[in-house]
Structure formats: structure tokens, C-alpha cells
Structure 1
Amino acid sequence: MNNKNLMLNLKTICNNTFIDHDMKKNTSFGIGGNVKCLVYPETKEELKDVLNYINRFNLKFYFIGSGSNLLIDDNGYNGVVISLKKTFKKLKILNNKIYAESGVMLGHLVKQAVKAGFGGFESLIGVPGTLGGALIMNAGAYGSEICNYIDHVISIDLKGEERTYNRQDINFSYRKSSFKKDEIIVSALFNCKKDDIDKIKINTRNASNKRKESQPLRYRSAGSIFKNPSENISAGYLIDKAGLKGVRIGGAVISEKHANFILNVDSAKSKDVIALIKLI
């Protein structure tokens, strides 16, 4: 059986399977070609069946969240892309803990934490993407990171086996984690602490305002492109000092507002963004 038919057969396993799907609609950059197969499993059992199928036929695959930190090649991706952003959306407050599935948007989790009076999550308000993606890259902002509150994380590997990782099992660092690339995160449990609700609301508002004031949120982008080289110097500062703000290649431009953002201002191609990255 050829590769195309193998991917077509995924429809018999998962109804939410799309063939030759335009990925521009699935990334915050709005850039990229078609993916051969995009799959949104609805349940753990369906996800396990999809993963077993991929493993059995050795299909090329990639896991994504909501596509908010992703640049897809203009030529597309000749493989299977799996996302849980539309289906794994459960979130529960359990005493002083939050249980959330990996398709929950991080912004929604933060709002629910604030509503419950849990402190510490405020600085993450406005950070785009799903919880799964946030855990993989250890999302953070203004001195706080998602790893600070982890109790445990559950993932599923290509054999369909569930794995539980307690906080001490996971190595987190600046925008990085030790989760394996052949496992997909399905849920997480967070330890939370009650705090003064007025203080939480003020912190949330301040973080939100700071983001709006410093970032070009009106344009399509993937957020900050480069990691900060140190705690004392930001990548944006260095790019600004290099005089690169406003430099444009094709439909992509280095933001005048925040130099670490590359914006899609006019139907940019992936090659335009890559050229700017290489220039920086």
C-alpha cells in the first residue's frame, strides 16, 4: 500500500482526518503549504489507535498544539500531523489543584486559575497556544514559567501506552523540557496556592497591559523568534541595537515595536521569514 493510501485509511480510525490540508489556517503565522494528513483524535482510545497505526506503518509524523509557535515550509509537510487542540479540552478545579487536558488553551487555564483565586499564573495571561505546547517549551513570561506549578503530566507513546511523569521526572529549563518527541502530552495536574484575589487581578491586568504595550499583537506572527541570550540581555534589545527594526524581505518584516518579532504583513512565505532569521 502506498503512502497516500495509508494516510487515507486514517479516516477509518479517526473521523476528524483531513487530507492535503492547507496549514496556513492552522498557524498564527498564517504561512505554509499543505500537510498530507491532519488528524484531530477525539478520545484517548482514538488517539492510541492513530499512534499505533503510525507506528505500525512507520509513517512520518509531527505533533502540534495550536500552531502559535510554528513555521511551516511553503512546500508543506509530507506526513501526518496530530493536534489535540479541538478535542482534548477538559479542565477541572479540584480543591487546590487544576486538571487540564493538553488541548486547553493556556489563556483559558490562566483565566480559570485567576477566577479560582490561585496565584502565580497571572504573568502567563496572553501567552498563546495550547497547554500541551506550553509544557513542551516550558512557556513563560515576566519571570514565571509553566513548570513552576506541575504536579504530574500524562503522555501517550507511539505504542499507545500511557506514561505518567511526576515533576521530578521532567527536566525543565529556559523554553525547553525533556518530554520525548515520540510521545504526545494528553493532560496535566497543577498544584495551586490561594492568594489575595485583588493582588491576583492587579498582577493579571499589569501583565496583560505590558504585553499589549510592548508586542505587535495586531499582526500575524509566532511571537518571539529568538531566546534571550541571558537573564540580563534580551534578544529584542540586541536586534534593535543592530539596526534591524523595520527590515523587510518579501511579505515578512522585523517589527518596529518589538525587534524579536517577525511579522507576516503581506502574504509572507516561509522563505521570507527564514531569510530574516538568517539575517539576524
Structure 2
Amino acid sequence: MEQFIQQLREKNIGKVLVQEPLANHTTWKIGGPAEFLVEPKDVEALKELMILIRQNKIPWRVIGRGSNLLVSDSGIEGVVIKLGDGISHLEIDGEEIKVGGGFSVIKLAMVISKKGLSGLEFASGIPGSVGGAVFMNAGAHGSDISQILTKAHILFEDGTMKWLTNEELQFSYRTSRLQKEKAICVEAVFQLKAGDRDEIVKVMQKNKDYRRVSQPWNYPCAGSVFRNPLPNYAGQLIEKAGLKGFQLGGAQVSEMHGNFIVNVAEAKADDVLKLIQHIKTTIRDEFEVEIETEVEIVGKKQNND
């Protein structure tokens, strides 16, 4: 592994951290160490990093801003690639925008609204990166990424890059092709529409206000934990089961919204996993409905798994 670190430094890939606690890089503030955390300085460095990873046969995964992610207390083996400022470019060409995978979704929605472009109002409170939003087809308020994305530039594990169309990304509810393949969304192209700037900003503010009064951002959390088992809604089922405020260890079902688990007391990933299982079992027993997690659960297995 010393050879790998030396290669990273010789190639000037970007920031390299060893045994970096991933609790520092997730919105839940939970997660053991990454063997290596690498933040490439630009797209070319990211491509070079992928080649080095293949040559050294090292396992890898990518993160953006760390939302929608539960990292094991034991951490992650191999390389965690963090898409940060080096991959957060933004180009605006009329009603079309091209944006880097590391760009903040909330920041993008704000910037675009001020340009009088409509289509991203739904994303004004989604606390992730553009790459992560494409990966999971993030959505809210009746819309999602698939409604505005025309194509995405994807880096595959073999080091090749290819533009995939909306159709090729195989979007569905909170899923995309990228969840089935080892690949990274390096940049995305969105088709927006010119609109009334004041009206766009008004809608965005309304969406942000709704999130502020209905969702618990006063504690570390990862967003919605469960996919909605349509026509039911996960949060409503959890609340009907009387689980609001239920706590295991440092993890608690939010007293504000049933589909959020909050870190109220230095929670461990194991606390969250046990709470998730308790919720799933309770909903199955009471309503005969199976609910599945929306958050991605990653990392080395716990000793007690």
C-alpha cells in the first residue's frame, strides 16, 4: 500500500488521507475510517486515480457530500473517492447547464434560480452532490432528477468515460443504472426552462420552508431512510405504529418526521442498523407491508453481524 500512496503523490492526484474517519464526511456524522480517502483535484486526476486503483487491484467506492449514506463502524477497506471542489464546475448555456458531479445540489438550485431558470426548484433542500443525486434519482415535491437530465458523463471502473442518455441511465423511483454498475457520475447535463425569476425563487423558498418545519435538520441525519412503499408512505406507517421518538443507543426515530433517523447522542452505525431492523419488523407485523431502505449502507461487516 505504500507503493500506492507513493503513486498517488507522484501523479499529484489530489488530497490523500489515510485511515480518515468517515464520520467527518457524512451528514449522519457516523462511520469508521476509510483506509484511503482521496479527493481528486480534477476530472483528469480522477481518471488517473481509477487507473491506479485497477493496477493495484484495490477495492473502491465513491461518495459526494455524504448524505443518504450509512457507513459501518468498522469503516471501508480500500479507496473512498470523494468528489469535491475539483469536480464542481458549472457551465450555463441558455436553458442547458453542465455541472460537475461534486457540485452541491442545494447550491446549484440557488444559483440557477437567480438566473431565472426553472426545473430545479424541487431540489432546493436536497443535501447531496449532483453525482449522488443522479446515482439515486433524487427527488422531492413531485419531481426528480430524471425529469430534467438529458445525459451524464460516466466514468467506468475500467477507466473509460462515456456519455449516457436519460434512457440509458434506466431511472426509476430513487434508482438508476449506476446502482447496479461500478461507475461514477462525473458531470451531468440538465435541460431547464426560462421562467419568472421571482416566481422561481418564491417556489424554492416555499419548498425550503416546508422542509425546515417538517424535517429534523437540527440533528445529524441522512435524509429519508426508507423508500415509500407506494401507495403507502413510509413516514406515515412509522408514525401510525407509534415509533416516533423511539430510540436505540444514540439513534432515534425523529419526533418531527417518521422517515428520518437522527443522531441524538453520538450514535454508532450499529445503533442505526438495529433501529432500521426494528422499524422494518414492526411495520411488517402491524401492516403486512415490507419497507426497504433508501439510504445506502456500506462498509466492512460488524463483528456482531
- Specify the TM-score bucket, using the shorter chain as the normaliser: over 0.9
Cα contact 2:59–2:77 (8 A) shared by 1: yes
Tell me what 1:5 maps to. 2
What letter is aligned with 1:100? V
**In 2, Cα distance between equivalents of 1:204 and 1:46:** 35
Among the aligned pairs, what percent are the same residue?
Answer: 37
Q: Say how many residue pairs are matched.
A: 276
Report which stretch shifted further, 58-67 or 7-16. 7-16
CA–CA distance in structure 2, aligned partners of residues 222 and 103 of structure 1: 17
TM-score (norm 2): 0.87
Q: What's 1:173 paired with? A: 172
Deviations 1:113-162 (A, max 9, x none): 21111122112101101000000000000101011111211011223211
Q: What residue in structure 2 maps to residue 161 of structure 1?
A: 160
For the residue of structure 2 that corresponds to 1:221, the secondary structure is coil
Where do residues 1-280 of structure 1 align in structure 2 (5 Å cutoff)?
4-9=1-6, 10-13=8-11, 14-179=13-178, 181-230=181-230, 232-280=231-279
Which structure's relative contact order is higher, taking Cα pairs within 8 Å and 6+ residues apart?
2
| Aligned residues of 2:18 and 2:34 also touching (Cα < 8 A) | yes
Any conservation in 1 of the 2:114–2:201 contact (CA below 8 Å)? Answer: no
Instruction: Give the secondary structure class of the aligned counterpart of 2:78.
Output: strand
- Higher mean displacement: 164-173 or 250-259: 164-173
2: CA distance, partners of 1:19 / 1:107: 29
For each residue in 1:30-73, what CA deviation from the matched residue of structure 2 results, as whole angstroms up to 9, or x when unmatched? 01111100011112221111101111222111111111111111
User: Are the equivalent residues in 2 in contact too, given 1:42–1:87 (CA < 8 A)?
Assistant: yes
Task: Identify unmatched segments of 5+ residues in structure 2.
Answer: 280-305
Deviation (angstroms), 1:202 = 2.1
Q: Is the 8 A contact 1:28 1:222 kept in 2?
A: yes
Describe the SS at the equivalent of 2:175: coil
Deviation, 1:205, is 1.5
Q: Which amino acid aligns with 2:205?
A: R
- Report the residue type matching 2:259 in the other structure: N
Name the aligned partner's letter for residue 254 of structure 2.
Answer: S
- Letter of the 1:177 counterpart: S
Q: What amino acid does structure 2 have at the position aligned with 1:151?
A: T
For the structure 1 residues 253 and 7, does the alpha-carbon distance in structure 2 shift closer, same or farther, using more than 3 Å as the test? farther
Name the SS for the 1:51 alignment partner. helix
Distance 1:27 1:39 in 2: 15
Backbone CA RMSD of aligned residues: 1.3
> Kindly tell me: are residues 181 and 86 of structure 1, through their superposed partners in 2, closer, same or farther at Cα, counting changes over 3 Å?
farther
Alignment check: 8 A CA contact 1:153 1:187 kept: yes
Separation in 2, partners of 1:81, 1:67:
11
Quote how far apart the aligned CAs of 1:196 are.
2.3
Equivalence for 2:289: none
Q: CA deviation at 1:279?
A: 0.2
Read off the aligned partner of 2:213 and give its amino acid letter.
E
Alpha-carbon distance between aligned partners in 2 of 1:69 and 1:222, rounded to the nearest angstrom: 5
Q: Give the Cα separation in 1 of the matches to 2:183 and 2:118.
A: 30
Q: Given the superposition, is the C-alpha separation of residues 95 and 78 from structure 1 closer, same or farther in structure 2, using an over 3 Å criterion?
A: same
Partners of 2:47 and 2:100 lie apart in 1 by 15
User: Which amino acid counterpart does residue 212 of structure 1 have in structure 2?
Assistant: R
Deviates more, 1:44-53 or 1:251-260: 44-53
User: Structure 1: which 5+ residue stretches go unaligned?
Assistant: none
Greater alpha carbon shift after TM alignment, 269-278 vs 180-189: 180-189
